[in-house]
Structure 1
Amino acid sequence: MAIKALIFDFDGLLMDTETTLLDSWRAEWRRHGHELDESSFFADHGGDTTDERYALLAATVGPGFDRAASHARRTAYRKERHRTMGLTAGLDAWLGEAEGLGLRLAVASSSQHEWVAGHLARTGDLARFEVLACGDEVAAPKPDPAVYRLALDRLGLPPEAAVAFEDTPHGVSAAVAAGLRCVAIPNLYAHNARFVQATLRLRAATETTLTSLLTRLEERHSG
């Protein structure tokens, strides 16, 4: 079946909000005279780990830790960083190609709808996406395939008619479990060796045109 839709992850794929997240926590640890253990920072799922991260920082700092003040600093820092953040390099060109090819566009994210829609509206890209499927609309985050199944249901398409784009191993697992072909563009904090389930893997969206990429996918599928 021909490809009719593209489904994109949001955090770390469409926008590099993963870096601002890490930087905000790194700054908070250093403010209290400690270093963040970055090796275990990113979870193997798309769920919210904010409470666990604060609990670890509080246990390290001790009784003087002020979570409310820490949270206010972190969110202000990220808000300022996000103010000028656009789509990841190469993605704007891909979306333009997709529109020219008549492909339908969707987002499948473990983040909340308000977060995803707010950022896409800020950059003027929200209207490009016919469907948003988000973490607060399903029972479990990635690697559970629920959010991809929701996106497919809203598109009214079977999985073989769409392609997913992901930046994490658990995101790829979710897409594959939903029956989708998946193109992986690993983020800076993910180990390339963990993307064995991906149909194709790229270093960056800038290394190829979308048209060429879709041709490769179709060739692999027909082969």
Structure 2
Amino acid sequence: MAVRALLWDVDGTLAETEFHGHRRAYNAAFRAAGLPWRWDVPTYRDLLAVSGGRERLRHFFQRVGEGAVEDGLVEALMAAKQRAYADLSRRGALPLRPGVERLVREAAARGCVQALVTTSSRSAVEALLASQGAALSSAFAFRICGEDVAAKKPSPEGYRQALDRLDAPTGEVLALEDSPQGLEAALAAGLPCVLTLGDPSADAAGPSAWWHRAAAAVDHLGDVDQPSRLLQGPPCCPPMVTLPWLDALLEAG
């Protein structure tokens, strides 16, 4: 069985945007607003349990005892955060993760449909893609972004919308994710999922880890000069995620 479509998550899967991009952009927004908070890596890792930027801010405000916060403040912070994120993208501060460009290119050469399914805003997605050049951006047939769904991951709504737009049965579509929420969303939509667990999110090991329900898990997709480390699933030979290896995952069910 051959993969006919790949559905890519963005943050942490396509590029390491969470800690090096979004976290820094939130902190820039806090500074610009004269607010005292700064999110370090451990704090932001905890906050990633909440999907969506506005939702994450409101959760944080409640956690630090701010209670109900006016919509105007949330929107102002999000606007400043999005400007800071776009600036980081333009400056090339958010490179693609290892193996992403290679696998996107291989899938495009085969004729696989590729699309993005993310909780990020469309503006953040487009800023990242613009920084990577037209070839990458044009490889994705469509994007399902945070504004397009009523419920964000772990809800499967984004993946279900994507499946409605694809001309491929569920059994020939594969999701690429990096988070518990993304894995849950993909599985709830009936999709097999491969996880790319980059540092610092790949801090668990063994069959009891949260990612044990994935079809496979690697630290990254891998390249010829940067082999991936297999955490779960059948052996990769060569040590990187390739289309034939993904085909075998689908065949194994």
TM superposition score normalised by structure 1:
0.80
What is the CA deviation profile of residues 147-183 of structure 1, one whole-angstrom value per residue up to 9, with x for unaligned ones? 0011111113221120000010110110011011100
Does residue 82 (structure 1) correspond to residue 89 (structure 2)? The answer is: yes
Displacement of 1:70 in angstroms is 7.2
Q: Distance in 2 between matches of 1:32 and 1:45?
A: 23
Instruction: Please give the secondary structure, in 1, of the residue aligned with 2:159.
Output: helix
Equivalent position of 2:17 in the other structure: 17
Q: Distance in 2 between matches of 1:34 and 1:45?
A: 19
Aligned-residue CA RMSD in angstroms? Answer: 3.1
Q: Distance in 2 between matches of 1:82 and 1:194?
A: 31
1:43-62 correspondence runs (5 A): 43-46=49-52, 48=54, 49-53=56-60, 59=66
1:102-117 correspondence runs (5 A): 102-117=111-126
1:167-182 correspondence runs (5 A): 167-182=178-193
Equivalent position of 2:47 in the other structure: 41
1:60-209 correspondence runs (5 A): 77-83=84-90, 84=92, 85-123=94-132, 124=134, 125-190=136-201, 191-192=203-204, 193-206=209-222, 207=228, 208-209=240-241
Q: Distance in 1 between matches of 2:3 and 2:102?
A: 18
Q: Alpha carbons of 1:24 and 1:46: their partners in 2 closer, same or farther (altered >3 Å)?
A: closer
Q: Distance in 1 between matches of 2:37 and 2:106?
A: 48
Instruction: Please give the secondary structure, in 2, of the residue aligned with 1:81.
Output: helix
Q: Distance in 2 between matches of 1:74 and 1:45?
A: 16
Q: Alpha carbons of 1:177 and 1:22: their partners in 2 closer, same or farther (altered >3 Å)?
A: same
Q: Alpha carbons of 1:80 and 1:58: their partners in 2 closer, same or farther (altered >3 Å)?
A: farther
Tell me whether 172-181 or 118-127 shows the greater mean CA deviation: 118-127
What is the CA deviation profile of residues 93-130 of structure 1, one whole-angstrom value per residue up to 9, with x for unaligned ones? 00111112221111111122332233223322221111
Q: Distance in 1 between matches of 2:200 and 2:191?
A: 24
Q: Distance in 2 between matches of 1:119 and 1:218?
A: 30
Gaps of 5+ in 2: 67-72, 223-227, 229-239
Instruction: Please give the secondary structure, in 2, of the residue aligned with 1:195.
Output: helix
The one-letter code matched in structure 2 to 1:197 is R
Q: Alpha carbons of 1:22 and 1:33: their partners in 2 closer, same or farther (altered >3 Å)?
A: closer
CA contact (8 A) 1:46 1:143 kept: no
Aligned residues: 215
TM superposition score normalised by structure 2:
0.72
Displacement of 1:32 in angstroms is 3.9
CA contact (8 A) 1:98 1:210 kept: no
**Bigger proportion of residues as helix:** 1
Q: Alpha carbons of 1:21 and 1:55: their partners in 2 closer, same or farther (altered >3 Å)?
A: farther
The one-letter code matched in structure 1 to 2:48 is F
Does residue 211 (structure 1) correspond to residue 240 (structure 2)? The answer is: no
Displacement of 1:67 in angstroms is 8.4
Q: Moved runs in structure 1, 4+ residues, more than 3 A?
A: 23-29, 31-37, 44-48, 51-59, 66-80
Q: Alpha carbons of 1:109 and 1:209: their partners in 2 closer, same or farther (altered >3 Å)?
A: same
Q: Distance in 2 between matches of 1:72 and 1:135?
A: 15
